[in-house]
Chains A and B, each alone.
Chain A
Amino acid sequence: MFDTRIIDTASTKEMNCIKDLLNSQGLYLPAGAQYVIAVYNGSRLVGTGALVGKILQGIAVDSEFQGEGISAIIVTDLVNKALEIGRNHLFIFTKPKSSSLFQALGFKPVAASKPDVVLLEWGTQSIEKFKSGLRQISRDKPEASCIVVNCNPFSLGHKYIIEKASYESRWLYVIVVQEDKSLFPYEARIKLVAKGIGHLENVTVIPGGDYIISAATFPSYFTREADLARVHASLDIEVFTTHIAPALKINRRYVGEEPYCEVTNLYNMVMKNRLPKKGIQLIEVPRVENNGRPISASFIREKIKAGEIDHITELVPKSTLSYLKSSQAREVIERIVNSSSRH
């Protein structure tokens, strides 16, 4: 009765029909959608959906055809495609009123930022499994502080705030954003963090996984869409306060003041508002300055881009500098030089 087709995203005609269907349901075409499908009843387009990374997006069904199982056809196809390319852990953002529809297909709620959005997940990984891993880590540790860092790359500014947090806390978790959307790859970032703070004895470095500032919890952090950022920031903090913090016995979170980036600044504002209500103290630490200028990773990247690595010797620890000068970093530096990304 219904046919499913993969849509050629380069075909304007087909994509326009899909845009119209999405708009009729108050949705819009997801950015970066490479795999888009359409469900037809005869020649009439009645449903669509897209896979963007590990997120199912832009799922819509014509109002006249709702309740006929079309969303199950769409989700089955998208899940099959994802599994085929080795993505076993999938996410959907949806309005709270549509949550039950996806739950019937096996998606489980991770967190909600009411009234705007619910995050659901599906697959071989889950927040429960992630938490039981965290509980293993925290089992023999006292109540602790945490700091979430991207470290793109690890600078003296990061070193300073982590040292401060370490001195002021019984235990400290340094959670490194795992999403590989930064110019420095995750493997390099976490290695430089571990090297840079190896002298601190009460610190554990933890990969952030899919649940801390990831494409799933905070997609606009990477796309820098400010209008969506508030919703996503709230969602990310909801995941943190309901799942991550209890599993690691966290009662304090450190953040650096954010003088440059609007999205990060907004994230800090949301934390200031939400964390104390959940019994977590937020400590905002002013940036360390060098020559009257706050040390920032984006400034360091600018200098690298300009080929002025010698100008950042006062901004990064020796471990980061020797990495930057090593052959390992050649590819990354080339990427920075050729990139127009601020991130």
Chain B
Amino acid sequence: MKILRQTRAGSLESNDLMVVMKPLGDREGIKLEINSIVQNQYGDRIREVVTEVLKRNGIMDAYIMIQDRGALDCTIKARVETAIKRGL
């Protein structure tokens, strides 16, 4: 699966996150930037969740920026899924 256009999902409100996704060329890989108010505690966990959703959807090349305001895992999954669906 390929991200074809810039997309976004979510919000900057408390307990939510904003996902911005941009296409990258073949074999450029995944470039993931995470900013979170709980970066130190949950930065790695957010990365894990996002990477898992990307893998499940077969996204190999994309730039993803996450702005997190303390979202739960299920919210992160939902927002990333939505961004992917809008970008295909």
- State the A residues within 8 Å of B (CB): 69, 72-73, 75-76, 79-80, 83, 86, 88, 104-106, 122-124
In the complex, what residues of A have CB within 8 A of residue B14's CB?
69, 72
In the complex, what residues of B have CB within 8 A of residue A80's CB?
8
Stretch at the interface among B40-48, B52-60, B63-71, B72-80: B63-71
Q: Identify 21 residue pairs between A and B in the complex whose beta-carbon atoms are under 8 Å apart, listed by A's number.
A: A69-B14, A72-B13, A72-B14, A73-B11, A73-B13, A79-B18, A83-B8, A88-B6, A88-B20, A104-B37, A104-B69, A105-B12, A105-B67, A105-B69, A106-B12, A106-B18, A122-B67, A124-B20, A124-B22, A124-B63, A124-B65
A106-B20 contact in complex given A72-B11, A83-B6, C-beta closer than 8 Å: no
In the complex, what residues of A have CB within 8 A of residue B6's CB?
83, 86, 88
A73 and B11 CA atoms in complex are apart in Å by: 8
In the complex, what residues of B have CB within 8 A of residue A72's CB?
11-14, 69
Nearest A residue to B63, CB-CB = A124
A88 and B6 CA atoms in complex are apart in Å by: 10
A106 and B10 CA atoms in complex are apart in Å by: 14
Question: Of the candidates A69, A88, A106, which one forms a contact with B67 in the assembled complex, judged by CB atoms under 8 Å apart?
Answer: A106
Nearest A residue to B22, CB-CB = A124
A88 and B5 CA atoms in complex are apart in Å by: 13
In the complex, what residues of A have CB within 8 A of residue B65's CB?
123-124
A76-B12 contact in complex given A104-B69, A105-B69, A124-B63, C-beta closer than 8 Å: yes
B22–A76 contact, CB under 8 A? no
Nearest B residue to A80, CB-CB = B8
- Give 16 new A-B contacts, CB below 8 A, not counting A76-B12, A79-B12: A69-B13, A72-B11, A72-B14, A72-B69, A73-B13, A76-B11, A76-B13, A76-B18, A80-B8, A83-B8, A88-B22, A105-B69, A106-B35, A122-B67, A124-B20, A124-B63
